[in-house]
Structure 1
Amino acid sequence: MPHILTLVAAPGGLETALVSRCRAALSALGANPGAPDWLAEGEAVDIPFVNAPADLAAAAARTALEDAPVDAIAMPAEGRRKRLLVADMDSTIVTSETLDELAAYAGLKDQIAAITARSMNGELDFAQALHARVGMLAGLDTAALEATWKATEMMPGAATLVATMRADGAVCCLASGGFTFFTGRVAQKLGFDHHVSNTLLIEDGKLTGKVAEPVFDRNAKLATLTRLATENRLPMAATLAVGDGANDLDMIGAAGLGVAYRAKPIVAAAARARVDHTDLLALLFAQGYRRAEFRAG
């Protein structure tokens, strides 16, 4: 089966010497690499190959790249452009962990961020960790939610990723273990078709310290991916899922293209595709989009 190895770097950071090294690594696997096809000069290139599994090809390329800040993603050439995107929010579509930032207004950012980090690395049960963190914020004024939102920044490439995929007919969904207060605003800002997440319970303008049940967790993320694929009559091969934490593992594993984005070690180790150095535009290059095809968000 024909495959494609896509190399992505910051603009101007992909030297021809690095491409040659990756082609040599593919040759050593017996993968018969073809001629490079530049998706964006000095930034992203496709290298076709055959006779080697995608995971081995990507691993060989990363070894050949050594410490160069270049991402390498390998996948089948057929069906590269996905018709459904399901994306995590915190530290994926936005640059921060919104619950940790919210906790700063209660003077608890360090304590809550420590629990978040352990949960995202799979060391704690997600639902239990969520209940514990939200419980610590009982009594916090909802003005802190607005202040947190005003300080929230979108991840570089997020707007272009959503705009380009939607323009090409894909359905885009934000699926987060965070909160609807934020996912609704992010979805509206970036143009996501759907958003699903947890709901903070509020009384008299203050957080109660509880979330609505059931908790939207890793199983719910997978269920969302599966449901939207079914509703849109898409095979799982036509789906893309991206995230950084342990609660994203199931949807990343099930998607046709599952990407660990600047991910926790447990996620990076398990995912078939990784973006460690560049931004969300790498997900477009991996699907074969040329920079000239990108749409502004």
Structure 2
Amino acid sequence: MSLAHTPLLVVMDVDSTLSNEEGIDELAWAAGPDIAAQVAAITTRAMAGEMDFASSLEQRIATLKGLPASVIEHAKARVTATPGARELVDAVHRAGGLVCAVSGGFHELVDGLLDSLGVDHWQANRLAVSEGVLTGAREGPLVDAVAKARWLERWAEESGALRTVAIGDGANDLDMMAAADVSIGFMPKALVRQQATHCIDARDVSQAIGLLGLERSAPAVANEE
């Protein structure tokens, strides 16, 4: 592989990794506290590997059926960047690398955030909306554990990356972490902790900068006399 190719490709999960929140849980609050609690419980089980992701996502989206599409904007406003996210993206870019993201959440909630962070490419699921209301289904290809690994491999091939890194927190990230040269568990669930190359246990994703041997900030330029 040519050394002229991208030196580093970092592929990150979004919900609870690049963002502080689980997007589906934020949407569920619009359906009321009982539904929100039910959805949050399913999310927790799925992230721990106790439920198949596809079926758990289907169950959670179904609870949103009939909600006005306006709830998407309300949920989107509550999705915030994890501390250190912009620092990490900038550090990878300074090293000539790419940052990509794959989310089991939804484009409608994460697109603005990822664009603001300077993420290069991303993929996520999409919510189905009809006549201004959520249908309780999704549309388009499913982004699950298998898809996350495939996108990492596709971006690596397209960029000619010399080293690949996967960062995530839950069971849905295990396939892409296995496909990467280096895997970092971020506030990881037990299954991820067991399999990750490194783990970050503080809610500051910029700690990955040191783990990857990158510079935290641009080197100071010496004054010329």
Q: Would you say same fold, with TM above 0.5?
A: yes
Amino acid at match of 1:128: S
Q: Which residue of 1 aligns with 2:199?
A: 274
Amino acid at match of 1:94: S
> Equivalent residue for 2:84?
157
Tell me which of 210, 214, 226 is aligned to 2:153: 226
Q: Unaligned stretches of 5+ in structure 1?
A: 1-80
Pairwise CA distance, 1:96: 0.8
Q: Does 1:147 align with 2:147?
A: no
TM-score by length of 2: 0.90
Aligned-partner Cα distance in 1 for 2:200–2:181: 16
Match of 1:135 in 2: 62
Shift of 1:168: 2.2
Question: Helix, strand or coil: the match of 2:89?
Answer: helix
State the 4+ residue runs in structure 1 displaced beyond 4 angstroms: none
Output the CA distance in 1 between the equivalents of 2:213 and 2:199: 16
User: Which residue type is aligned with residue 283 of structure 1?
Assistant: A
Deviations 1:12-46 (CA, angstroms, capped at 9, x unpaired): xxxxxxxxxxxxxxxxxxxxxxxxxxxxxxxxxxx
Unpaired segments of 5 or more residues in structure 2? 1-5, 220-225
5 Å-filtered alignment, 1:1-297, equals: 83-107=8-32, 108-235=35-162, 238-277=163-202, 279-293=204-218
Deviation, 1:215, is 1.4
Aligned pairs, number: 212
Within 2, Cα distance between the matches of 1:169 and 1:205?
Answer: 43
TM-superposed deviation, 1:213: 4.0
Which one has more relative contact order, counting CA pairs under 8 Å at least 6 apart?
2
Q: Which amino acid aligns with 2:62?
A: G
Larger Rg: 1
Distance across 2 between alignment mates of 1:243 and 1:216: 14
Identity, in percent, stands at 38
SS state of the match for residue 221, structure 1? helix
Distance in 1 (CA, whole Å) between partners of 2:147 and 2:72 is 24
State the Cα deviation string for residues 77-127 of structure 1 (Å, max 9, x = none).
xxxx96111100000000011100110011121000000000011110100
Measure the CA separation in 2 of the matches of 1:101 and 1:182: 10
Q: How far is the alpha carbon of 1:291 from its aligned partner?
A: 3.3
CA RMSD between the two structures: 1.6
CA deviation vs aligned residue, 1:172-229 (integer Å, no higher than 9, x gap): 1110000011221122111111110101010111110001243110000000000010
Give, in whole Å, the separation in 1 of the partners of 2:191 and 2:15. 17
Tell me, yes or no, if the aligned pair for 2:148 and 2:176 is still in contact at 8 Å: yes
SS in 2 for 1:92: helix
Render the CA deviation track for 1:216-250: whole Å, top value 9, x for unaligned. 10000000000010011124xx0111000101001
Q: SS where residue 155 of structure 1 aligns?
A: coil
